[in-house]
Chain A
């Protein structure tokens, strides 16, 4: 792997991108999980797919090459995020309704652009389940910028976001601009999804943001610890998934997710064992 890694630029791009999304996915995911917004990630990933399909269609039709489909995906994802927020305020009493609306619109648009673009069908598999060879240098720079934005915004607004996540009413009463902060957060989510999609795929991108957090929450004490464990689990999954995916010739989306599931099972049974031990000690 190492010689291949040094030899092929695409492997380097993929690996570095993997390290970045292993960081920002679980980092943002920690907030997504505690705010019970896990499904938004799924909705937005399908909108991102529509953007990518649109990009491919434009590329085929007009041969515009300076923006790769990745950038169209990012734009669609951000627009989708804004629409979800609008829909959530329109259907105030049925807020989860926004997600199936946006998700199906994303799939519908994807199908249309995919068939208009023709020939894109060969790539479809890669878009759905991820690929080790899909990240260009140009895309990597885009993802690097996204990672930088996401990490800085989360550091700068950490205390407000945490407050909002824990107790929205309290945040509002204290004069925090909860709507603006929430909006910023949703846009960040859209960015992280579009950054992650080439490696883990449309169908599994939300897993990268939620599974490491689900494992972390079982064993962490406090929110900062939850974030740290989530990132560690995320990185282990991404690195392990990329390497095993490469050797087994399986799309990395599948291997990354299965490693995350394995970690989740380990933390669950580990916690059970630990609790049993504690109980026995208490009885003695």
Chain B
């Protein structure tokens, strides 16, 4: 439980002359369900890109699974569900099964074909997200909430230890959002997947996550959900700067 699988130390990143992350420190421990909140432009997306290895740290370091991120090659240990996932071409003729199987493509590797075992894993992942009855449907025919479950299945089929979700519920109706977070809880507790949930929705984050990190260029807060609840609204709006569009169910 106490082995940090992500260790971020004194991390800074700037785009040309604009600083996006300033001296960030953050540890994510195995088994955590960490909510990362902050205003738009606060560096959340930059941090995710760094964790996924799409860009490299300019200052400071990131270690994932005990290894420096620049040397880290085992991309299968980190699953990713993007907010853009459901912006795919709806007319694309792909079944749920075909889409989820792409989650194994990199793991299986070049010049190799999917085995029976791989197909079994795909079926299990679809079962885990409760979408078995749709397995042979075209993904474009499903609702937004259902599609997002499929993208979760795609992300977990390769057995990642860490799952990063970037605003996964944008554009999904409230009823499905709730079921979606129940699924995340299940993945965290039953499947023992460490979760990093990026969201601007403070209410849901505090409801489901067990830790909160609040990022607006600098890390303003990092701690348990309970401690976070004790922060006053005033402090919170300080974190957020003048961004008043914060969604809060805070008391």
A binds B: yes
Q: Closest CB-CB distance, A116 to chain B, in whole Å?
A: 44
Judging by beta carbons under 8 Å apart, are B93 and A174 in contact?
Answer: no
Question: In the assembled complex, which residues on chain A have CB atoms less than 8 Å from the CB atom of B93?
Answer: 34, 216-217, 220-223, 225-226
Given contacts A159-B108, A160-B110, A223-B93, contact A173 B136 (CB under 8 A): no
Q: Does A163 contact B (CB under 8 A)?
A: yes
CA distance A221 to B99 in the complex (A): 13
Chain A residue at minimal CB-CB distance from B158: A174
How many of chain B's residues have a CB under 8 angstroms from any CB in A?
34
Partner-contacting stretch, out of A10-18, A43-51, A85-93, A164-172: A164-172
Partner-contacting stretch, out of B37-45, B78-86, B178-186, B208-216: B78-86
Question: In the complex, which residues 215-234 of chain A have their Cβ closer than 8 Å to any Cβ of chain B?
Answer: 216-217, 220-226
Judging by beta carbons under 8 Å apart, are A163 and B138 in contact?
Answer: no
CA distance A171 to B104 in the complex (A): 11
CA distance A62 to B213 in the complex (A): 74
CA distance A13 to B98 in the complex (A): 38
Given contacts A172-B54, A217-B93, contact A222 B111 (CB under 8 A): no
Judging by beta carbons under 8 Å apart, are B106 and A166 in contact?
Answer: no
Q: Does B105 contact A (CB under 8 A)?
A: yes
Q: Does B152 contact A (CB under 8 A)?
A: no
Chain A residue at minimal CB-CB distance from B48: A173
Chain B residue at minimal CB-CB distance from A30: B93
Question: In the complex, which residues 89-113 of chain B have their Cβ closer than 8 Å to any Cβ of chain A?
Answer: 89, 91-95, 97-99, 101-103, 105-106, 108, 110-111, 113
Question: In the assembled complex, which residues on chain A have CB atoms less than 8 Å from the CB atom of B137?
Answer: 221
Judging by beta carbons under 8 Å apart, are B105 and A159 in contact?
Answer: yes
CA distance A167 to B82 in the complex (A): 11
Question: In the assembled complex, which residues on chain B have CB atoms less than 8 Å from the CB atom of A224?
Answer: 98
Judging by beta carbons under 8 Å apart, are B92 and A176 in contact?
Answer: no
Q: Closest CB-CB distance, A67 to chain B, in whole Å?
A: 32
CB < 8 Å: which of A160, A162, A169, A174 contacts B98?
Answer: A162
CA distance A220 to B91 in the complex (A): 11
Question: In the assembled complex, which residues on chain A have CB atoms less than 8 Å from the CB atom of B102?
Answer: 159, 162-163, 166-167, 170-171
CA distance A154 to B15 in the complex (A): 39
Judging by beta carbons under 8 Å apart, are A173 and B54 in contact?
Answer: yes
Judging by beta carbons under 8 Å apart, are A221 and B136 in contact?
Answer: yes
Q: Per-residue CB proximity of B31-57 to A under 8 Å, as 1/0?
A: 000000000000000000000111000
A-B CB contact pairs (8 Å), 25 listed: A156-B111, A159-B102, A159-B113, A162-B105, A165-B92, A166-B99, A167-B85, A170-B80, A171-B102, A171-B105, A173-B52, A173-B54, A174-B106, A175-B73, A175-B106, A216-B93, A217-B91, A217-B93, A222-B93, A222-B97, A223-B92, A223-B93, A223-B94, A223-B98, A226-B93
**Further pairs besides A34-B93, A162-B94: 18, Cβ < 8 Å:** A34-B89, A156-B111, A157-B110, A159-B105, A166-B102, A170-B82, A170-B102, A171-B102, A172-B54, A173-B80, A174-B103, A174-B105, A176-B106, A216-B93, A217-B93, A220-B93, A221-B95, A221-B138
Closest 7 CB pairs of A and B: A222-B95, A174-B106, A163-B102, A175-B75, A226-B93, A163-B105, A159-B105
